[in-house]
Amino acid sequence: MDWNFYLNDIFPVLNRGLRMSLALILPSATLGLAGGFVLGMARAFGPSWLRKAGDVYTALFRGVPLVVQLFMLYYALPRLGLYLDGFSAAVLGFTLCSAAYHSEYVRGAALSVKQGQFRAAQALGMSPLQTALYVLAPQTMRRALPGCGNEIVYLIKYSSLAYLTTCVELTGEAKVLASQTYRYPEIFMAAGVYYLALTSLASLVLGKIEKRLRVPGFGRTI
Amino acid sequence: MRVEGAACVNEPREQSVLRLEGVGKSLGGRRILNDVSLSLRKGELKVLIGPSGAGKSTLLQCANCLIRPDQGEIFLDGERLNQHNSGQLRLFRRQVGMIFQDFNLFDHLSAQGNVSIALEKVRGLSRREAGERALAELARVGLADRAALYPAELSGGQKQRVALARALAMDPRAILLDEPTSALDPELVGEVLAVIRDLAAGGMTMLMATHQMDFARALADEILFMDNGRIIEQGGPDVLLRQGAGTRTLDFCTRLSLELAGRDGLKANGLELLP
Ligand SMILES: Nc1ncnc2c1ncn2[C@@H]1O[C@H](COP(=O)(O)OP(=O)(O)OP(=O)(O)O)[C@@H](O)[C@H]1O
Ligand SMILES: [Mg+2]
C-alpha cells in the first residue's frame, strides 16, 4: 500500500473538501431544521390556507429530485434576475429540501401530542405561548427527533450533490484528484471513509441527545 | 346546614365562591346548555349527575371558561368575570382547578414536574420553591414516593391523584371535577375518591360530575340533576334520593344501579359479549 500517496496527496485534498462539506452541511442542517420546525407547526396548527400552502411546498420539494432543484436554483433563477453563487445555491437547495422532510416529522409529532394536555395547560392559567413552549414544543421535539436525525444523516450524504452548482466539496475534490491521477479506487475509498466518519459522528451525537431527552412513553417504540 | 334569614341579608350572595348565572352555550347550532344557574359556597361539594349527553362536561368547562359560554355571567368571590379580557381569564382559570376524566397529565414531565410547571411558569415561583411545593402536594395525595415517575409509569388512579395535586398546587378557590373516576378500573376508584373525600373534609369547594352514587349520597351537600342542558332537579341527597321520592334523580340512580348490577351479573356468568 502506497502510504505516501495517501499522506501527501489524498488527505490534504480531501481535508480541504471536508472543510467545504462542513461549510455546506452545518448551515443547511441548522436552517433546514429551524425551517422544518416552523413549517411543520404551520402545517399542523395553521389556518387552513397556510396548511394547504405548506402541504404544496412539502409535496413539491419532496417530489422533485434534489438534482433538479439544484439545477433550477443555479441555472434557472438567473433567468428571473436572481443570481446565486454556487455555494449559496447549494446551501439554499439543501435547506429548502431538508426543511420539507423535517416538516413531515415535526407535523406528525405535533399532531400526536394529546389535545387534552392543551386544555389542562389552559385550565392551569397558561397562556397560549406558554402552552406552546412548555407543553407542545418539548413533546414535539422528542417525537420528531429520531426522524429529523435520520434526515440530517441523509443531508450529509446528499451534500455531495453540491458539485452540480460548481461547489467543490469532498466528493468534488475526490473527483478532480482522481481524474488527474487515475487512482480512483484509493481516492474514493478514502472519501467513503470520510463520509462514514461524518455520518457516524452525527449519529453518535444525535443518539446522545436522544438519550439525554429520553422520557418513558416517548421515543423509539422498537 | 344553611340558615336562611336575617343574617344573610347583610352577607348577600358574595358569600358564594363560584356562581354561574343564566349560563348558556350553543355548539354546532344546537343548544347544549340552557340558562344554567348555580352557586358554590365556601366548602360546599355539589354533585352533578345526569344521562350521557346531558351537558355535564360542557357545564364544567364553561364554569372555568375552557368553553366560553355565549350567555350568562360567571362570578368568582362575587366578582364578575370579563370573558374577553384574556389576562383576567387566565387569572380566573388558575383559581378554579379542573380535573378531567382522562387525567391530561403532561406526558413529558415527571409527576413532580407536572405539579411544579405551572407553579414555576404561571405563578412565578423559583424552580426550587416550585419543586418543594410540588413534593408537598404529592405527599398530600399519597404519592411522595412516586414524584420521579412519568405518566407512562403510573396507574390510572395515581395519574388522577397527580392531576389533583397539580390542581391543588395552584391554591384554587374551587375545583371542578369531570367524572374523575370513570376512566379507572374499579379497584382504583377508591384511592381517588378518598383524596376527594379528604379535600371535602378540609373545606375545599367543589363541583363534581360523577356516577358514583354512594359517594354522592354520603358527601354531597347538594345534587344537581341535569338533562338536555338544564338543571331540572336540585337538592340534598336526603331529599332527592329518599325512598319513594318520585324524583327524576332517584329514577336515574335506580336505573344506573340496575345497569351496573346487570353488567356485573353478566360478567360473573361470563356472558358479557360487549365491552
Ligand atoms: N364541540 C361540540 N359540537 C357539537 N356538539 C357538541 C360538542 N361538544 C359536545 N357536544 C354535544 O353536547 C351535548 C352535551 O355534551 P357533554 O359532553 O357536555 O355531555 P355529558 O353530560 O358530559 O355526557 P357524558 O356523561 O357522556 O360525559 C352532547 O349531546 C354532545 O354531543
Ligand atoms: Mg362528560
pLDDT tens, residue by residue, B253-266: 888 888 877 666 55
pLDDT at res. B7: 43
Which parts of chain A register pLDDT below 70? 1, 219-222
Ligand 1 centre to CA of B129 (Å) is 39
Q: Is residue A166 part of a domain?
A: yes
Contact residues on chain A for B170, CB-CB shorter than 8 A: 124-125
User: Has residue A75 been placed in a domain?
Assistant: yes
pLDDT of B230 > 90? The answer is yes
> Residue with the nearest Cα to atom 12 of ligand 1?
B32
Residue A191: CATH number of its domain: 1.10.3720.10
Residue B6 predicted with pLDDT over 50: no
Mean pLDDT of chain B: 89
Query: Residue A7 has what pLDDT?
Result: 73
SS (H, E, C) chain B: CCCCCHHHHHCCHHHEEEEEEEEEEEECCEEEEEEEEEEEECCCEEEEECCCCCCHHHHHHHHCCCCCCCEEEEEECCEECCCCCHHHHHHHHHHEEEECCCCCCCCCCCHHHHHHHHHHHCCCCCHHHHHHHHHHHHHHCCCHHHCCCCHHHCCHHHHHHHHHHHHHCCCCCEEEEECCCCCCCHHHHHHHHHHHHHHHHCCCCEEEECCCHHHHHHHCCEEEEEECCEEEEEECHHHHCCCCCCCHHHHHHHHHHHHHHHHHHHHHCCCCCCC
How far apart (Å, rounded) are the C-alpha atoms in residues A67 and A51?
A: 27
pLDDT higher than threshold 70 for residue B14:
no
CA distance A9 to A182: 13
The Å distance, Cα B57 to ligand 1 centre, comes to 7
Report the alpha-carbon distance of residue A117 to residue A123 in Å, rounded. 10
Look up the ipTM and state it. Answer: 0.87
Longest dimension (CA), chain B: 62
- How far apart are the CA of B58 and the nearest CA of chain A, in angstroms? 13
**Distance between CA atoms of residues A215 and B70, nearest Å:** 41
Task: Scan residues 94-113 of A and list those with Cβ closer than 8 Å to B.
Answer: 113
- Residue B5: the pLDDT is 43
The answer to whether residue A222 is domain-embedded is no
B102 close to A (CB below 8 A): yes
User: Average pLDDT for residues B222-227, to the nearest whole number?
Assistant: 95
Mean pLDDT of B6-14: 46
C-alpha dist (Å) from residue B188 to A175, B5, B100, B180, B257? 68, 43, 16, 11, 19
Q: What percent of chain B has pLDDT over 70?
A: 90
Q: For residue B251, what pLDDT is reported?
A: 85
Give residue A3's pLDDT: 77
pLDDT at B150: 96
The verdict on a CB contact (< 8 Å) between A126 and B90 is yes
Q: What is the pLDDT of residue B265?
A: 55
Rounded to two decimals, what is the model's pTM? 0.87
Spacing, Cα B241 to ligand 1 middle (Å): 26
Q: Does residue A97 contact residue A68 with C-beta atoms inside 8 Å?
A: no
B93 touches chain A (CB under 8 A): yes
Mean pLDDT of the B227-241 span: 91
Residue A119 lies in a domain: yes
| Domain interval for residue A87 | 3-213
Using a CB–CB cutoff of 8 Å, tell me whether B118 touches chain A: yes
Nearest to A217 among B64, B94, B152 (CB): B152
DSSP secondary structure of A156-206? HHHGGGGGGGT---HHHHHHHHHHHH--HHHHHHHHHHHHHHHHHHHHHHH
d(CA B63, ligand 2 centre) in Å: 14
Separation CA B134–CA B119 (nearest Å): 8
Q: How many CA atoms lie within 13 A of A79 on its CB side?
A: 6
The predicted-structure confidence for B122-136, as pLDDT tens digits, reads as follows 999 999 999 999 999
Instruction: Give the per-residue pLDDT at A1.
Output: 62
Find the mean pLDDT for residues B202-213.
95
DSSP state of A64: S
Of A125, A134, A138, the CB nearest to B94: A125
Q: What is the pLDDT of residue B270?
A: 45
CB B130 within 8 A of CB B170: no
Residues of A in contact with B178 (CB under 8 A): none
Q: A59 lies in a domain?
A: yes
Residue with the smallest CA separation from ligand 1 atom 1 is B27
Query: What cell numbers appear for B127 in the block?
Result: 424552580
In a domain? residue A136: yes
Cβ-proximal residues to A44 (8 Å cutoff; 6+ apart), any chain: A51, A106, A107, A110, A111
Provide the edge-to-edge strand list for the sheet that holds B16-27.
B30-41, B16-27, B71-76, B79-80
Averaged pLDDT, B41-54: 95
Mark yes or no for CB contact A123/B122 under 8 Å.
Answer: no
Chain B residue with the nearest C-alpha to that of A219 = B108
In this prediction, residue B254 carries a pLDDT of 85
Which domains are assigned to chain B? Answer: 13-268 (3.40.50.300)
For residues B184-193, give the mean pLDDT.
94
**Residue of chain B whose alpha carbon sits nearest to that of A124:** B94
- Which range has the worst mean pLDDT, A14-23, A25-34, B42-51, B239-248? B239-248
**pLDDT tens profile B72-96:** 999 999 999 999 999 999 999 999 9
Q: Is A220 inside any structural domain?
A: no
Q: Do A124 and B66 touch (CB under 8 A)?
A: no
Give yes or no for residue B203 having a pLDDT over 80: yes
Query: In this structure, are strands B45-49 and B206-209 parallel, antiparallel, or unpaired?
Result: parallel
How many domains is chain A built from? 1
Look at residue A219 and tell me if it is in a domain.
no
